[in-house]
């Protein structure tokens, strides 16, 4: 069930209505049933897979809690590590089988073929379960949080199941932490009109990002990437530039709808995007982009590897390993690994060159505190990040190199039949919607919260703004055949 579908437009108000009407003691049961129904609308059988991951991590939490009661310190430490290891191993094994099986065997076949050894891949033909990377990481974070003593082990298996399956953020995040969401499952939520209005407005903005901006930009991006051998270089550069905004509005739109939907019901989810393209360095970008995932890798991989506590070389190695793992998390393909590696390499090189850069700016008397200089840094950072997006968007690493080669060679001259997939009026709508996005992000970055400002307007003016937003989405939103909804990009991860 997609957020931009008619089904969700019916499902969400009904779930919210009965959530607040039902007695507090059964509300969580209603949400659990609704969450599993939400997931089973895609494929009922794969709900069993999510239930299995939930059961494994739930039991691991109880076993770690029991191990904490052991008086012998050596035995206690050994048991705690054993249950954590089993939880991670079993969950990651499930993820491997469903997401990385083909990738692993295809690469193993290729390596062995170099030595003249033929290997036939075992047949394991399955569909990648929607959201498996998200709910697996969320469940694993609970295991680690219990191990670290940051949360108590949840005794009720069904309340814990709601934490893993909470429908607003189930299939594409934010990847919530047990420290934030699990205790909210126990809390009594009363309907707050102001809180609900704010959540609905955030959902409306998310729908605008997805349907008006992302899906319209996708037409240009898909047209160019599917026909790159017949495209001029400027069209390829434009498509890579636009893809940065497509994926931002697509995934950021999903996150905003998820956060807003949860807020309507009284839940608070973590922020997932914070004006990422206004970052002044690649390191800052990853503090603003997909925050729930980047902090997950920081807390559960980078820091356990040693973080920056074991010298510069180890710090850089840990950084690269973390970003390579992040790239592999996104997809079982080398282009994702290269994308992650590039983002890690940017930060390593940036950190190495920082002293020299600061000395050069000082020697040239460049006023680094000025708005102009900060603007230059934003543009340069965007260019580096956008170049890496080429490898993310291309269907394979070899295709990304081909696209890059065509762009560098100048491409093909645009003929009379050349098209970007949109006519002139549609291109104008795209440009205006991108401008609206930039303005809103700029205002929010300047601590002028557009949503809070709208909510303070007089009631008649506020409703005019609401109706205008709804009208823009209905009229300028992109629909498929028969007004069907388009899938979100991150559903494939």
Closest CA to 180 of 191, 169, 172: 169
What's the whole-number mean pLDDT along residues 90-115? Answer: 87
Q: From CA 490, how far away is CA 492, in angstroms rounded?
A: 5
Contacts of 352 (CB under 8 A, 6+ apart): 316
Please say whether the dihedral angle defined by the alpha carbons of residues 48, 49, 52 and 54, taken in this order, is positive or negative.
Answer: negative
**pLDDT for residue 94:** 93
Q: From CA 271, how far away is CA 222, in angstroms rounded?
A: 29
Q: From CA 112, how far away is CA 96, in angstroms rounded?
A: 21
Phi-psi region of 444 (alpha: psi -120 to 50; beta: other; left: phi over 0): alpha
DSSP H helical ranges for 96-147? 101-114, 132-147
330 part of the active site? yes
The neighbouring-strand residues paired with 96 are none
Contacts 24+ apart (CB under 8 A), 16-20: 16/264, 16/265, 19/189, 19/265, 20/189, 20/190, 20/191, 20/265
- Asked if the model's pLDDT at residue 491 lies above 80, the reply is no
Grouping H, G, I as helix, E, B as strand and the rest as coil, residue 237 is helix
Under a CB-based contact definition with an 8 Å cutoff, are residues 66 and 194 in contact?
no
pLDDT bin (cut points 50, 70, 90) of residue 398 is: very high
Q: From CA 99, how far away is CA 288, in angstroms rounded?
A: 27
Total residue count of the chain as it appears in this document: 493
Q: Which of 183, 330, 365, 447 is catalytic?
A: 330
The neighbouring-strand residues paired with 395 are none
Phi-psi region of 477 (alpha: psi -120 to 50; beta: other; left: phi over 0): beta
**pLDDT for residue 96:** 92
Longest dimension (CA), the chain: 81
Grouping H, G, I as helix, E, B as strand and the rest as coil, residue 111 is helix
The angle subtended at Cα 254 by Cα 251 and Cα 256, nearest 5°, is 110
**pLDDT for residue 201:** 94
**pLDDT for residue 482:** 56
Q: From CA 435, how far away is CA 441, in angstroms rounded?
A: 10
The neighbouring-strand residues paired with 411 are 232
* Residues 283-302: tens digit of each pLDDT: 999 999 999 999 999 999 99
Contacts of 202 (CB under 8 A, 6+ apart): 256, 257, 259, 260, 263, 451
Q: From CA 209, how far away is CA 257, in angstroms rounded?
A: 10
Residue of higher predicted confidence among 391 and 462 = 391
* Residues 219-249: tens digit of each pLDDT: 999 999 999 988 999 999 999 999 999 999 9
Model's pTM, two decimal places?
Answer: 0.92
First CA to last CA across the chain, in angstroms?
16
* Helix 24-40, helix 157-165: angle, nearest 10: 50
* Residues 366-392: tens digit of each pLDDT: 888 888 888 999 999 999 999 999 999
């Amino acid at each position: 069930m997609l957020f931009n579908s008619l089904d969700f437009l019916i499902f969400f108000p009904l779930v919210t209505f009965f959530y607040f009407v039902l007695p507090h003691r059964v509300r969580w049961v209603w949400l659990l049933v609704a969450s599993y129904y939400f997931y089973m609308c895609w494929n009922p059988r794969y709900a069993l897979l999510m239930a299995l991951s939930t059961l494994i991590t739930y039991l691991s939490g109880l076993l770690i809690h029991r191990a904490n009661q052991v008086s012998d310190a050596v035995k206690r430490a050994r048991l705690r590590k054993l249950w954590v290891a089993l939880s991670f191993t079993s969950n990651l094994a499930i993820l491997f089988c469903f997401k990385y099986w083909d990738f692993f065997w295809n690469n193993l076949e290729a390596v062995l073929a170099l030595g003249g050894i033929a290997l036939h891949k075992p047949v394991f033909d399955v569909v990648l379960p929607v959201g498996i990377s998200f709910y697996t990481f969320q469940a694993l974070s609970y295991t680690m949080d219990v191990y670290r003593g940051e949360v108590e082990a949840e005794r009720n298996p069904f309340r814990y199941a709601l934490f893993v399956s909470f429908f607003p953020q189930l299939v594409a995040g934010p990847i919530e932490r047990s420290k934030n969401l699990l205790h909210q499952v126990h809390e009594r939520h009363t309907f707050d009109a102001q809180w609900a209005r704010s959540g609905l407005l955030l959902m409306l903005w998310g729908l605008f990002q997805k349907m008006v901006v992302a899906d319209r930009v996708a037409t240009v991006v898909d047209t160019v990437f599917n026909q790159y051998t017949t495209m001029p270089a400027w069209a390829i550069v434009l498509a890579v530039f636009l893809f940065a905004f497509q994926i931002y509005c697509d995934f950021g739109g999903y996150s905003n709808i998820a956060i807003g939907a949860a807020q309507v019901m009284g839940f608070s989810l973590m922020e997932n995007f914070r004006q990422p393209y206004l970052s002044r360095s690649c390191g800052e970008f990853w503090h603003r982009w997909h925050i729930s995932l980047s902090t997950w890798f920081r807390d559960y991989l980078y820091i356990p590897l040693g973080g920056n506590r074991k010298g510069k070389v180890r710090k850089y190695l840990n950084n690269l390993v973390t970003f390579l793992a992040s790239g592999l998390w996104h997809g079982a393909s080398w282009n994702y690994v290269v994308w992650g590696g590039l983002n890690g390499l940017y930060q390593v090189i940036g950190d190495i060159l920082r002293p020299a850069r600061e000395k050069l700016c000082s020697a040239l008397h460049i006023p680094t505190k000025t708005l102009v200089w900060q603007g230059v840094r934003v543009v340069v950072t965007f260019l580096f990040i956008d170049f890496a997006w080429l490898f993310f968007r291309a269907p394979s690493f070899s295709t990304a190199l081909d696209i890059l080669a065509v762009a560098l060679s100048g491409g093909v001259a645009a003929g009379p039949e050349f098209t970007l997939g949109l006519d002139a009026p549609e291109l104008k709508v795209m440009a205006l919607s991108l401008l609206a996005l930039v303005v809103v992000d700029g205002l929010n970055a300047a601590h002028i919260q557009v949503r809070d400002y709208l909510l303070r307007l007089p009631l008649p003016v506020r409703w005019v703004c609401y109706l205008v937003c709804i009208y823009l989405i209905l009229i300028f939103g992109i629909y498929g055949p028969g007004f069907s909804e388009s899938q979100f990009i991150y559903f494939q991860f």
